[in-house]
């Protein structure tokens, strides 16, 4: 691979890697073994040189994970394939996952180009405007891990969604950060059939709603944890825009929203174009998804359900005061009357 070759031939990087190997060899037997090989790289074939250099990078780039993640566990994360659908919040999740796992393979999907209004929640520069999100995320992933295989998709038709989930390398976890309802339902139906867990993080103001659907465990959860009854039986292609908004609101819910978020929902189409989002919360959501994938892959006991990570409740002392609760209830009732 060209990018790998360029990295391998960079003398400055090789020098830094060797120095770090020397520093860490006294603490890690595996690093010591690699250091012995690394010291005589020129004696090996090019194929073996690349192998030992990749091994050195993997050990060093994950060294600060020990003992929070053992080497055996790190190897397991490295071998895990995760499919990310949607690359706004999903970009934070995919990039953070790669940073943590140094995964060999990853699948990403998003049909959209980057617009100026996307940049409030994406770690991309102005020079990315007009480019496909999937192209930029692929580039960032390869910068983090130049040896990873990135399977990139830029269409959302049913055949493509099926290909992402059903074709090799088959994902062990699916992360849904899409807006398209039809694709969201299809992903869950396919995942349920293949016994693949689906994770979804929704950034709501300063807070994150995390949905876990463990189709790999019994009892099987209902789609979206049952927030919309029998959604798989609804012909989503025939829904009007108001009906589609109603379904989306049911999936997200009004509970645990701040007054500002609720007021924002009432302002859509009047003073703001669409659902507001913050880059800080999108970043938190990406970290939560990565942590959750790690815990599931390493067989920690994670259950299906909706989980609320309320920064407001944690940090703002009067967030749950009677006065503020009453105001939130009034706003929620107003939204419900408008939509339902």
Looking at residue 8, its pLDDT comes to 52
Mean pLDDT is highest, among 144-148, 150-154, 180-184, for 150-154
| Torsion over CA: 108, 114, 119, 121 (sign) | negative
Q: Are residues 95 and 48 in the same domain?
A: no
Q: Long-range pairs for 44-49 at CB < 8 Å and ≥24 separation?
A: 49/8
Sheet with 173-176, edge to edge strand ranges: 149-153, 105-109, 82-85, 173-176, 198-204, 207-213, 305-309
Say which DSSP state 220 is in: P
Looking at residue 3, its pLDDT comes to 40
Q: Are residues 56 and 86 in the same domain?
A: no
Q: Are residues 49 and 142 in the same domain?
A: no
Is the pLDDT at 216 greater than 80? The verdict is: yes
Q: Are residues 173 and 38 in the same domain?
A: no
Tell me, yes or no, whether 247 lies in a domain. no
Cβ count near 78 (within 10 Å)? 16
How far, in Å, CA of 11 to CA of 207, rounded? 45
Looking at residues 218-222, what average pLDDT do you find? 94
Looking at residue 237, its pLDDT comes to 85
Say which DSSP state 148 is in: -
Could you tell me which of 189, 180, 155, 329 has the C-alpha nearest to residue 247?
180
Six-digit token pair at 64?
A: 């600060």
Say which DSSP state 301 is in: -
Six-digit token pair at 150?
A: 């990135």
Count of domains for the chain = 2
Q: Are residues 173 and 283 in the same domain?
A: yes
Q: Which helix (H) or strand (E) holds 141?
A: helix 133-144
Question: Apex CA 92: angle with CA 87 and CA 98, to 5°?
Answer: 105
| Residue finishing a domain among 30, 61, 92 | 61
Q: Are residues 91 and 11 in the same domain?
A: no
Tell me, yes or no, whether 238 lies in a domain. no
Looking at residue 14, its pLDDT comes to 80
Q: What is the pLDDT of residues 70-121, one digit of tens each?
A: 999 999 999 999 999 999 999 999 999 999 999 999 999 999 999 999 999 9
Looking at residue 93, its pLDDT comes to 98
Q: What is the pLDDT of residues 257-291, one digit of tens each?
A: 999 999 998 898 899 988 899 999 999 999 999 99
**Which domain, by its residues, includes 44?**
2-61
Distance in angstroms between the alpha carbons of the first and the last residue of the chain: 54
Q: Which residue has the higher pLDDT, 78 or 179?
A: 78
Q: What is the pLDDT of residues 44-55, one digit of tens each?
A: 888 888 888 899
Question: 316 — phi, psi (to 5°)?
Answer: -100, 110
Is the pLDDT at 15 greater than 90? The verdict is: no
Looking at residue 2, its pLDDT comes to 32
Is the CB of residue 184 less than 8 Å from the CB of residue 176?
yes
Q: Are residues 94 and 28 in the same domain?
A: no
Lowest mean pLDDT, pick from 22-26, 69-73, 333-337: 333-337
């Amino acid at each position: 691979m060209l990018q790998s070759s360029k990295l391998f031939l960079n003398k400055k990087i090789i020098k830094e890697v060797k120095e770090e190997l020397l520093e860490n060899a006294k603490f890690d037997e595996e690093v010591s073994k690699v250091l012995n090989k690394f010291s005589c790289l020129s004696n090996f074939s090019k194929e073996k040189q690349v192998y030992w250099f990749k091994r050195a990078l993997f050990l060093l780039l994950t060294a600060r994970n020990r003992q929070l993640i053992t080497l055996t566990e790190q190897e397991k994360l490295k071998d895990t394939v995760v499919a990310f659908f949607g690359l706004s919040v999903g970009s934070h999740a995919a990039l953070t996952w790669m940073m943590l796992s140094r995964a060999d393979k990853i699948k990403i999907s998003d049909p959209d180009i980057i617009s100026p209004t996307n940049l409030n929640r994406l770690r991309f520069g102005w020079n990315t405007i007009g480019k496909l999100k999937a192209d930029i995320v692929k580039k960032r992933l390869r910068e983090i891990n130049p040896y990873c295989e990135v399977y990139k998709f830029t269409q959302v038709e049913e055949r493509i969604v099926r290909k992402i989930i059903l074709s090799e390398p088959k994902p062990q976890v699916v992360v849904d950060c899409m807006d398209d309802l039809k694709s969201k339902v299809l992903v869950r139906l396919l995942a349920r059939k293949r016994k693949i867990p689906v994770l979804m993080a929704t950034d709501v103001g300063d807070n994150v709603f995390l949905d876990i659907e463990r189709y790999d465990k019994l009892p099987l959860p209902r789609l979206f944890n049952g927030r919309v009854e029998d959604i798989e039986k609804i012909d989503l292609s025939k829904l009007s825009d108001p009906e589609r908004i109603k379904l989306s609101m049911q999936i997200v819910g009004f509970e645990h929203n701040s007054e500002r978020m609720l007021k924002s929902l009432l302002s859509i189409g009047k003073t703001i174009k669409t659902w507001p989002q913050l880059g800080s919360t999108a970043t938190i959501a990406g970290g939560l998804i990565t942590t959750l994938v790690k815990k599931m892959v390493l067989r920690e006991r994670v259950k299906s359900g909706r989980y609320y990570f309320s920064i407001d409740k944690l940090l703002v002392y009067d967030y749950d005061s009677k006065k503020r609760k009453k105001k939130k209830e009034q706003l929620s009732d107003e939204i419900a009357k408008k939509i339902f």
